[in-house]
Structure 1
Amino acid sequence: MSIHARLFLTASSALIAIPAAAQDSTQAPDEAESEIVVIGEGLAQAPSVVAYAVSEIERAVIVAAPSGRIEDVLANVAGFQQFRRSDSRSSNPSAQGVTLRALGGNATSRALVLLDGVPMADPFFGYIPLSAIAPEQLAGIRVTRGGGSGPFGAGALAGTIELESADANALGPIAASLLGNDRGETEASASLAQELGSGFGVLSARWDRGQGFYTTPRDERVPASARAAFDSWSVGLRGVAPLSDTVEIQVRALAFRDERTLRFDGADSSSEGQDASLRLVGRGDWQFEALAYVQARNFSNIVMHSTRFVRVLDQRNTPSTGLGGKFELRPPVGGEHTLRLGIDYRRAEGELQEEAYSAFTGNLTERRRAGGTNTNLGLFVEDDWAVGALTLTGGLRADRTSIADGFYRAVNSSGAIAKETIAADRAGWALSWRVGAAFDASDVLRLRGAAYTGLRLPTLNELYRPFVVFPVVTEANAELRNERLEGFEAGLDFSPSDRFELSMTAFENRVENAIANVTLTPILRQRQNLPAIEARGIEASAKAALGSVKLDGSIVYSDASIEGRGPSADVDRNRPPQTPRWAASATFGWAPALGWEFAAALRHVGAQFEDEQESDRLTAATTLGFFARVTMREKLQLVLRGENLTGTRIVTRNSAGSIDVGTPRTFWAGLRYGF
């Protein structure tokens, strides 16, 4: 039986058991008087959260994004950054890395993204499968900026993005939406939610498809130029049930597939995955959270020659598996202390399988294989102490990291080895920590400060997989070292009333051994550890409400630079690739009547550079989006959306003057029921 079949068999069995568990919890007559309420989330946030820069996005904001994409929602947060400006319909999936705090654009995520407590990053590449995350299925998002050393701290180099799924009450028994745009593309979503005894179950699905737009500007198009066509679907199952009056079980399964075409006919990519997780949460005197998960992922990509427009590389198969889990315990120590003890584990293994072809004859020239296994075992302890208006927090984490079984092998068409690398196994321990304090100076003002360190392993992709964006070749590097972050921040939260909130944070972060694609020649790059990337800046966010009008805005200024010299040029003090100096977002909302809502979203991203050489510039871009919903009858709504209404030219790639552009002006209209 395949891993995919075993995965779904396990998840299905668990989901089938949930209704029975829920029913059993309510059958005893003497228990009917005390209703058991399940939450469907992890343990409550520890008091330490007040010491860090945290942004929360409510469900009402999540479902009102002009594009309907999760990356559009996250762009509301000061400092959120994708590797490229393209959204998840018109970028290569393997380039969907996300980060915070101007720590350098990277196809691998430097921010840890969790869905119901489970890391979402691809085990091989480290990118986030953004198209598999349906915003309308979420209850809320919490973004904590700055390095972390607590649960799943490894990987949270720039911060943590926590996505929480909505429960049956928020979704309603039946919910569905169907929208189309002016290019004939469609977006369809639906969910069925049912209370099952004292628990609930949710079945959800989403399908996005369309011909896309030309990412190649009109004056650069050739007969082989193609629209950025996309076809993606995802199906999710989630169940929550009580095992006792203080313990609940949560089961989740997700399957998705995404197919895209970029720039040229035949330049097709696909990504797919099947994930399952099981979480037990205890909310008694001895609180605990136990989580286990498994991921089965794959990726394929065809690279076309940029002048002959024929296939030169077929990355036909990249199977990978992620396994992991954590256990956290909060004993009742008393004395205004919240003590957290725990252990977490992650394992990623995968293998690249690709073939290279001659651009002139079309004949096979090489077969390539590459892969390995990365593991991380973490032990952590953290204590929060509330002393009147002062909250103190401190945590220590020890990680045992292992990079093993790494190899790269290329054989020519006759089967002879053309190149082979057998990487040495290596392992070691690393310590990280974080401390923070928050002081409630008054009922309306909180002052806070924190310092922290962090850790990220290089991914299997960075270590072993070379890639081509023709004609530029980027080589892997099996000798890459772990990235290490040191940082501190200070800020304030000001809330003079429940109608106004202001948050400001000044930060300085330094990533040593930062992994980047370093230019060796005009057509050759290699992944290397830079001595460091330093980023400092100020981020601010504000929320205001006046009757039926709301304003939600954020802005960040960052001064980031590379430390060190490059092999082909001096890059010391250059700005990290794909990192703007300014970024801002403002959303104006108006709800004139019950069931009526109008919102306009203004976004600005400053100029940035394509690579560390600062030779190719991506111009600044300011865009305007629009969302409207009008209730027609009960839960049936008319929905109108607009993307990039100003028609701004959004440059997403610039390679020596050859550019790609982002989403043009786009109008959506459709119906929504229940969401």
Structure 2
Amino acid sequence: MPLDIPPPVDAVVVTAARLPAPLADAAFSIARVDGEDLARASRVDEAITATPGVSLFRRTSSLSANPTTQGVSLRGIAPSGAGRALVLLDGVPLNDPFGGWVIWSQLAPSAVSGADIVRGAGAGPYGAGALTGVISLRERDAGGAFELARAQRGEVDASGDGVVKLGQAQVYGALSFQDSDGYTPVRGPARGAADTKTSLTTRSASVRVDAPTGLGTLSVRASTFDDKRGAGLAGANANASGDILSATLAQAPRGRRPGWRLQVWRQASDLFNSSVAVAANRASTTPANSQDRTPAVGEGANLAIRLQSGALQWEVGADARRNKGEERERFRYLNGAYNSQRTAGGETSVAGVYVDGAWQAGTWLVAGGLRADHWESRGGYRVERSLITGALLLNETPADRQGDLMSFRLGARKTLEGGATLRAAAYSGFRPPTLNELHRPFRVGNDVTESNPNLKPEALKGLELGFGRDGATGRGEVTVFWNRIEDAIANVTIGVGPGTFPRAGFIPAGGVLRQRLNISAIEAVGVEGQARREVAGVVLRAAFAVTDARVVGAGLAPQLEGKRPAQAPIWSATAGLTAPLAAKLSLDLDVTYEGKRFEDDLNSRVLSPAAKIDARLEWRPTPHARIYLAADNLLDKNVEVSRTVDGIAGLDAPRTVRMGIGYSY
């Protein structure tokens, strides 16, 4: 379980080209996930979401979640399929250039040596997209690991990665494969012939070359992934694929010599996603739309210069990103064939400059940062034609839009007696809408959500106060925060089926029509805390988050005033232990609880509170080898993840037992 601890403040010698974590981050709320946490998880997102308040859009992990709902948000303020947090791998964004979500299967847990979760808007060196925070992942620099596991329902997991030294240079490579027959989300009497399994087949590969040069360390990385899955309904499937190419030249600061980083990257992605309409008795499905292609490209660059001068560390930098893509879709299935086709897309970009600094003297650390960004949305289009006659049905070319935004962060930390710390922070940040939110409508079952090319960037401002203590046998922290997201992008209900609506067409009985809109604001007040203590060789851990998020000044959607954002629980908590049972045998036990969520914006569909227990028994015959037996959802509880208008609940995975072997060096 990740713990709130101050990040290291001294430069760390690394092999890959990256700058050390900035000193300024220590003044803000940070949770760290280490390599052991990641090694115990079957997916990277499962390790990260062990932190209460950190979640994907739904309760499901990426093992069964649709690619378009794998965006991650922090503090449970207002989860979104696009995600409201920026996810970086050694500085390179992993958020999809079209939709903003993250395809977590592109990373094997063993390939990630650690993660820093910076909660609160990520102004300063992080910038656009870091609305509720930043998840900064670090790829392995040394050693390697291999793992093979088998689980119920035909699941096979295999991964391997390692470093090979070539003189002063090194090559790092990673491979992963996962295949599963999956489970059926709708179970019990409600299940019909329409309900099928959430099958999964994923593959990923990456290679990175690190080489010293006269200017610093150069790292060149290439990766690719392919993710195929069934959605749990007959005829509903998804296939996400992509690749990333990046180059980083960096040198850590030393003495009076400044450090710096120059980084460029290119990310290409594609998505096939088919949706179906479900018959009232769930006896059958009918094709609703087929998103045949979603080619998109994201490109970016950043430059940072960092200097340590006595008690002062400062960093100045600039960054730019551009995303371009379109969707190609067939829809309106009538008389055994699709009757219409759609192409929609455009281009977005954002560029900014920043200055960020920290001053440390005695027991005080004071940090601050300021950013200026320019964003644009241009070249948008949505064209729909009849596949029967070729006639033009819709031709929209929204006006280009642009704007300028300022954001900041300011924090202070005071070290008290006995290892205690007191911390306060204020910050702001923003997230421009994705191409997906601007231009692509989508369908889930009988529910349709329309796009909106006139969306504005979301903006967050927040305050927080934290207290922590770090002792010889334990540590912990508690943080109280207030956040406000202005112009929050939400899926707002504008119609109920059966009926025919402009642009969207026919909505069947049991379905609803929504549109993405900028509502006035979402305000959240919360408290989060984590603790860890070792007693007689047993490691105890606990964490909780209480976040009361509400829509205020609903503006374009007055019906949402006072409502909670969809998929945003108030309560979440975890507790666990790691206990040695014998010299080489250990037990991990974790209990997770979450309060009720609402499936929809009107808070009319309730997802019941959920609790589950995960257990893992591990035997280490040698310091490098391990054999384990694990059970997720040990007591086989029904965890609701979705609910239709007619009350049918979709469930998370039932009890899953897996056995695996691993070797690390």
**Fold-level similarity (TM above 0.5):** yes
Q: Contact between 2:381 and 2:398, CA under 8 Å: does it hold in 1?
A: yes
Deviations 1:150-207 (A, max 9, x none): 12311111011111111223x2xxx321111122211111123212223322211111
Moved over 6 A (4+): 566-569
The whole-number CA distance in structure 2 between the counterparts of 1:124 and 1:521 is 27
Compare 306-315 and 211-220 and name the one that shifted more.
306-315
Among 536, 545, 549, the residue aligned to 1:560: 549
State the alpha-carbon separation in 2 of the partners of residues 640 and 279 from structure 1.
40
Q: Please say if residues 521 and 554 of structure 2, whose CA atoms lie closer than 8 Å, have aligned partners that are also in contact.
A: no
Secondary structure in 1 matching 2:559: coil
Aligned-partner Cα distance in 1 for 2:580–2:296: 46
- Answer whether contact 1:519 1:567 (CA < 8 A) is retained: no
SS in 2 for 1:632: coil
* Cα displacement (A) at 1:569: 6.2
Give the Cα–Cα distance (whole angstroms) in 2 for the partners of residues 322 and 153 of structure 1: 16
Q: Which amino acid aligns with 2:178?
A: D
Tell me, in whole angstroms, the C-alpha distance in 1 between the residues paired with 2:575 and 2:603: 29
User: In the alignment, what sits opposite 1:73?
Assistant: 47
**Post-superposition offset of 1:587:** 2.5
- Of the structure 1 ranges 307-316 and 451-460, higher mean CA displacement relative to structure 2 is found in 307-316
The answer for the alignment partner of 1:408 in structure 2 is 382
- Distance in 2 separating the partners of 1:567 and 1:385: 44
**Residues 566 and 532 (structure 1 numbering): CA distance in 2 closer, same or farther, change over 3 Å?**
closer
User: 2:169 matched to which residue of 1?
Assistant: 199
- Aligned residue for 2:400? 425
Do the aligned partners of residues 470 and 182 (structure 1) sit closer, same or farther apart at CA in structure 2, a change above 3 Å counting?
closer
The answer to whether structure 1 residue 219 and structure 2 residue 189 are counterparts is yes
Which one is further off, 369-378 or 582-591? 582-591
Partner of residue 61, structure 1 = 37
Instruction: Indicate yes or no: 2:22 matched with 1:46.
Output: yes
1-structure distance, mates of 2:555, 2:13? 58
Higher relative contact order (CA 8 A, sep 6+): 1
Alignment of 1:469-548 (within 5 A): 469-495=444-470, 497-522=471-496, 523-548=512-537
Three-state SS of the structure 2 residue aligned to 1:331 is: strand
Match status 1:671 vs 2:661: yes
Cross-structure match for 2:317: 342
The 3 A distance-change label for structure 1 pair 301 and 121 is same
Tell me: CA distance 1:168–1:470, structure 2 relative to 1, closer, same or farther (3 Å).
Answer: same
Q: 2:218 — aligned with what?
A: 249
Shift of 1:81: 1.8
State the AA in 1 paired with 2:326: E
Higher deviation after alignment, 626-635 or 302-311: 626-635
How far, CA to CA, are the matches of 1:446 and 1:632 in structure 2?
A: 41
Output the amino acid matched with 1:368. R
| Cross-structure match for 1:635 | 624
Aligned counterpart, 1:142: 116
How far residue 130 of structure 1 moved from its aligned partner, in angstroms, is 1.2
Report the alpha carbon displacement of residue 532 of structure 1 after superposing the two structures with TM.
0.3
Offset from partner CA, 1:399-454 (integer Å, 9 cap, x none)? 01010001111111212111121011111211111111111122511111010110
Q: How many residues align?
A: 630
Q: Does 1:452 align with 2:427?
A: yes
Share of identical aligned residues, percent? Answer: 32
SS class of match (1:310): strand
Q: Offset of 1:312 from its aligned partner?
A: 2.3
Verify the 8 A CA contact 1:168 1:201 in the aligned structure 2: no
Q: Is the 8 A contact 1:520 1:567 kept in 2?
A: no
Partner letter of residue 181 of structure 2?
Q
Q: Matches of 1:562 and 1:37 in 2, distance apart?
A: 46
In the alignment, the residues of structure 2 paired with residue 294 and residue 498 of structure 1 have an alpha-carbon distance, to the nearest angstrom, of 45
Deviations 1:490-534 (A, max 9, x none): 101211x23210111000000000001000112210000010001
Supply the distance in 2 between the matched residues of 1:452 and 1:538 (Cα, whole angstroms): 17
SS at match of 2:560: coil
SS for the counterpart of 2:160 is: strand
Aligned residue among 297, 300, 311 for 1:321:
297
Unaligned 5+ segments in structure 1 are 1-35
Q: Measure the CA separation in 1 of the matches of 2:188 and 2:395.
A: 42
TM-score by length of 2: 0.92
CA contact (8 A) 1:38 1:240 kept: no
Q: Distance in 2 between matches of 1:386 and 1:565?
A: 43
- Partners of 2:597 and 2:620 lie apart in 1 by 42
Q: Distance in 2 between matches of 1:638 and 1:470?
A: 41
CA RMSD of aligned residues (A): 1.7
Whole-angstrom distance in 2 between the partners of 1:46 and 1:633: 37
Partner AA of 2:657 in structure 1? F
Pairing partner for 1:464 from 422, 435, 439: 439
| Cα distance in 1, alignment partners of residues 557 and 72 from structure 2 | 28
1:623 aligned residue:
612
**TM-score scaled by length of structure 1:** 0.91
Are residues 569 and 513 of structure 1, via their aligned partners in 2, closer, same or farther at CA, if it must alter by over 3 Å?
closer
Q: What is the aligned partner in structure 2 of residue 598 from structure 1?
A: 587
Q: Does the aligned pair in 1 maintain the 2:643–2:650 contact within 8 Å?
A: yes
Q: Name the CA shift for 1:385/1:566 in 2 (closer, same or farther; >3 Å).
A: closer
Structure 2 unmatched runs, 5+: 1-11, 497-511
Partner Cα distance (1:203, 1:113) in 2: 21
**Greater CA deviation, 399-408 or 558-567?**
558-567
Of 224, 237, 258, the match for 1:286: 258
Which of 230, 245, 267 matches 1:276?
A: 245
Q: Which amino acid aligns with 1:475?
A: E
Task: Provide the C-alpha distance between the structure 1 equivalents of 2:349 and 2:662, rounded to a whole number of angstroms.
Answer: 44
CA distance in 2, matches of 1:237, 1:551: 37
36-45 or 425-434: bigger deviation: 36-45
